[in-house]
Amino acid sequence: MSLENISCQKSFGGWHKRYRHRSASLNCDMVFAVYLPPQAEQGEKLPVLYWLSGLTCTDENFMQKAGAHRLAAELGLIIVAPDTSPRGPGVPDDPDAAYDFGLGAGFYLNATQEPWAQHYRMHDYVVDELPALIEANFPASDKRGISGHSMGGHGALVCALKNPGRYQSLSAFAPIGNPADCPWGEKAFSNYLGEDRSRWREWDACALIATAQEKLPILVDQGDRDDFMADQLKPDALEAAARAAQHPLTLRIQPGYDHSYYFIASFIDDHLHHHAQALKG
């Protein structure tokens, strides 16, 4: 598996690097970004936080806007940011090129319906292929945390809840908490997975949390001026599911904050500490 380095920028004493590679899971070329803190040059293997971005994003949004490098450099955390969908020639997009489906909107699942199933397998990419690549090519240990925003918050919850033992820490910003029951999720799931709603449950955090064997504590921040909160994100549904299953969830409703990266930047340090504590613990 060869990695082509496409950029390299010093940041807080460490390095922000972007790579292109052929993805076997996704059957296309992919770009991801990695932040290597200064400790990565000292020979030690470091824990990795995987960050999953939201609709329309690429590997770049979080790295440029979250302000996470400062504390990651202090804590000795590697951060990996994949793209949000397969890309490139031959990868089908929403026929209307809508922002909420297709390119930039892979929903971190494995599609079963054509024409999506050939490329849209972001779950396998994020959970298996990418960590294998990271752990083989960088000074990364097998301690893994996962977090994300909006569609990526959904992705983080589902990746961790479906794969007990794979991650040691979990958090999310304004996640789509109950995608089987919101417009974004219904559009994506009906296309990627088909109309049989019983098949949607294995990609819905509320359904997964009900039967999760592993009780990995979850930190969630949600702004109360987030325009998507009531209709798309449904933190109440996630909270109710966690309460019913006695799953440890810290849901913080942050007054005045919206859905933007200003919100993420304001609380990213708390999330990095949450992950570092579990990963370095």
Give the active site residues: 150, 226, 259
**Residue 221 beta carbon to a copy of itself: minimum distance, rounded to whole angstroms:** 12
Taking residues 207 to 226 in sequence order and writing x for each that binds a copy of itself by CB under 8 A, - otherwise, the string is ----------------x-x-
64 contacts 18 by C-beta, under 8 angstroms: no
CB nearer to a copy of itself: give 11 or 118: 11
When binding is defined by CB under 8 A, the residue of 21, 65, 162, 197 that contacts a copy of itself is 65
d(CA 29, CA 23): 6
Residues in the chain: 281
CB nearer to a copy of itself: give 99 or 262: 262
Taking residues 225 to 244 in sequence order and writing x for each that binds a copy of itself by CB under 8 A, - otherwise, the string is x-------------------
Q: Which residues contact 139 (CB under 8 A, 6 or more apart)?
A: 36, 40, 43, 44, 45, 46, 78
Report the candidate in 79, 31, 91, 83 with the shortest Cα–Cα distance to residue 56.
83
When binding is defined by CB under 8 A, the residue of 112, 260, 270, 280 that contacts a copy of itself is 260
Prior bond of 37 cis (ω within 30°)? no
Which amino acid would we find at residue 75? Answer: L
CB nearer to a copy of itself: give 28 or 253: 253
When binding is defined by CB under 8 A, the residue of 257, 271, 272, 276 that contacts a copy of itself is 257
Greatest C-alpha distance within the chain: 51
CB nearer to a copy of itself: give 25 or 266: 266
